[in-house]
Amino acid sequence: MKKRKSYHKKYKVTYIISTVSAIFFCTLFLKGYTPFERTEDNIFHVQLNGQAVGILANREEAEELMIQARRNVASTSEELVFMEVELEVNGEEVLWGQVDDSETVLKNMETVLRGSILETMHRSYTMKVNEYIVNLASVEEVRQLLQAAVDKYDSDKKFQVELVYDNSKEFNVLTTNVIDTTKVNDEGDSSICNGGIQSFFNRIDPVVETQEEKSFEDFELGILEMDFAEEVEIVESYLPLSQLTLLADAIEQVTKEQEVPSEYEVVKGDTLSAISLKVNIPMENIAEMNSLQNINDIHEGQKLIITVPEPELSVTRTEERFYEESYDADIEYIDNDNWFTTREVVHVQPHAGFRKVVVNISYVNGKEVAREILKEEIVMEAVAKVVERGTKIPPTYIKPISGGYLSSGFGSRNTGIKGASTYHRAVDWATPTGTPVYASCGGTVVQAGWGSGYGYVVYINHPDGNQTRYAHLSKVLVKVGQTVKQGERIALSGNTGRSSGPHLHFEILVNGRQVNPLSFNLQ
């Protein structure tokens, strides 16, 4: 009995020793276990964006792995990648516990981050022209866009757009350089010929070239140079795909002509039809934009609103051309200070000439803005038109009464009066008898008194050769030979002669023939 009890105790002690030894061995040598230390948290549960990604032995390792995971995810794209990152590490103190290896936690973090990408910012290029901005996917697309603007006017495809760094800018900003590819090749060849020993001798014994007049065959002809009218700036940027413009859409936006509001200042001698030709806009459109009642409602210095079709990016070019044409010599004027400006006399009739011409023409887009003759050969001389013209400003005319209403205009009418003309060569204003009548223009009274069917009348001759007549008066206040000023009272209105009621009959005669007085813009 004692022997069995002693054996049982010996077995119990052996079991305890074996168990403790096994625990000690596992603690020291088995991978994934942390020895128990009664100090503080010794394992850490890691969560990324609310998802468990593993258990680590220390907090610092979790942060290092998170940084590496972000770097690995971002490196898979050449663009800027924005992702949501929220790391949570919760420590725990345990007697023993299993932790994950670093590679497993790193892969778990990468999986979570790929699902948390907010937006990818793509490398792109922003082009600015004045207030217009467009974003394109690559610098080559920017070049193609600018090339499309040039190709619109370069039918021979001689000119090519290059993008170069703008040295005047502090930061890396690209701008444009439009080159003639044919000249680049020529200059390249010539630079080789002029190099080395030849250039040395050229400096010692320079050749003096004599300037000889070119023949028509010596001119280059065609487009000489092209450029952009506005400053173009291109900068690199990172943008989401939603903010990028397709190349085809950008080309249409940049090259399509838009209606741009502008102003035109009227100069001396301008007419609405002449302005229409200058700005290439129909007269009726100009009149509508400026609320003009008629084509004569313009004056020197007036600023007219016009809309000019222009693209976002304008292209300038200089073109050399040869042509043969009939031409007219400039009109030669002889000024006569004794004549009014309304009088002109042609002394020599013109005759067109014929010539050969080489010209430089400057364009902005499709509009010619300047022209310079480089060579001209007259085949047949043009004969100039010689015109003598007056310089004196002609007198003006005013309405001869105050008030009244227009009761009969100039032209055909039904009179209802026996013997009265059915074609009225004057205008009538109905007004009470005794209304003052004023001289429409200054001049000399040539008739004052009774005039048969006109009743009492007054005729006045004016310095411009015209004559005014005032009829059906009740009283005449001037005499023949008297000089009167514009606006001076000459008579009182009435109802004398062949008349249907109190009114003033008013005529203006030009070269002895009645014309419509209202065409003189009576005020």
User: Alpha-carbon distance 448 to 453, whole Å?
Assistant: 14
Q: Rounded to whole angstroms, how far apart are CA atoms 48 and 153?
A: 59
State the pLDDT at residue 467.
Answer: 97
Q: Are 124 and 137 in contact (CB under 8 A)?
A: yes
> 8-39 pLDDT, tens per residue?
455 555 656 666 555 555 554 444 444 544 55
pLDDT at 15: 54
Which residue, 100, 145, 153, is CA-closest to 362? 153
Q: Answer yes or no: is pLDDT of 66 > 90.
A: no
pTM (2 d.p.)? 0.49
pLDDT digits (tens, 9 = 90+) for 418-437: 545 567 889 999 999 999 99
Give the per-residue pLDDT at 86: 85
**What pLDDT score was predicted for residue 2?**
44
Q: What is the pLDDT of residues 480-506, one digit of tens each?
A: 999 999 999 999 999 999 888 999 999
- The pLDDT tens digits of the residues spanning 318-342 come to 999 998 999 899 999 999 999 888 8
Span 400-406, average pLDDT: 93
- When pLDDT is cut at 50, 70 and 90, the band that residue 147 belongs to is very high
Give the per-residue pLDDT at 150: 93
Cα 27 to its chain centre, rounded Å, is 81
Span 157-191, pLDDT tens digits? 999 999 998 887 777 889 999 999 988 655 444 33
The number of C-alpha atoms within 13 Å of 203 and in the hemisphere containing its C-beta is 6
pLDDT at 357 over 70: yes
More confident residue, 136 or 1: 136
Cβ-contact 294, 270 below 8 angstroms: no
pLDDT at 303: 87
Between 22 and 508, the higher pLDDT residue: 508
Give the whole-number percent of the chain exceeding pLDDT 90. 39
Q: What local confidence, expressed as pLDDT, does residue 505 receive?
A: 95
pLDDT at 70 over 50: yes
Does residue 208 carry a pLDDT above 50? no
Q: Give the whole-number percent of the chain exceeding pLDDT 70.
A: 82
User: According to the model, what pLDDT value does residue 521 have?
Assistant: 84
pLDDT for 300 equals 84
SS3 of residue 400 by DSSP: coil
In this prediction, residues 275-279 reach a mean pLDDT of 80
19 vs 507: which has the higher pLDDT: 507
User: What does the pLDDT read at residue 201?
Assistant: 41
Per-residue pLDDT at 412? 76
Residue 115 reports pLDDT greater than 90:
no
Task: Report whether pLDDT(144) > 70.
Answer: yes
Q: Where are the beta strands (DSSP E) in 257-404?
A: 258-265, 303-310, 315-327, 332-340, 344-348, 353-364, 367-380, 386-392
- Amino acid 146: pLDDT: 94
> Does pLDDT of 77 surpass 70?
no
Q: Residue 449's beta-bridge partner residues?
A: 457
**pLDDT tens digits for 471-486?**
999 999 999 999 999 9
Is pLDDT of 381 > 50?
A: yes
Amino acid occupying residue 507:
E
For residue 88, pLDDT over 60 is answered with: yes
Average pLDDT, the chain: 82
Cα angle 442, 443, 445 (rounded to 5 degrees) comes to 125
Alpha-carbon torsion 309, 315, 321, 327, what sign? positive
Does 46 score more than 80 pLDDT?
yes
Which pLDDT does position 198 carry in this prediction?
A: 43
From residue 275, give the alpha-carbon distance in Å to each of 262, 268, 279, 285: 14, 12, 6, 12
Q: Please report, as a single letter, which amino acid is at residue 164.
A: V
Band of residue 248 on the pLDDT scale cut at 50, 70, 90: very high
* Residue 364 DSSP code: E
**Which residues fall within 8 angstroms of residue 102, CB to CB, at 6 or more apart?**
56, 61, 65
Taking residues 379-403, report their average pLDDT: 93
230 compared with 95, residue with greater pLDDT: 230
> Nearest Cα to 158, choosing from 216, 225, 100?
225
Give the residue ranges of DSSP H helices in 224-314: 247-255, 272-279, 283-289
Whether pLDDT at 104 is above 50 = yes
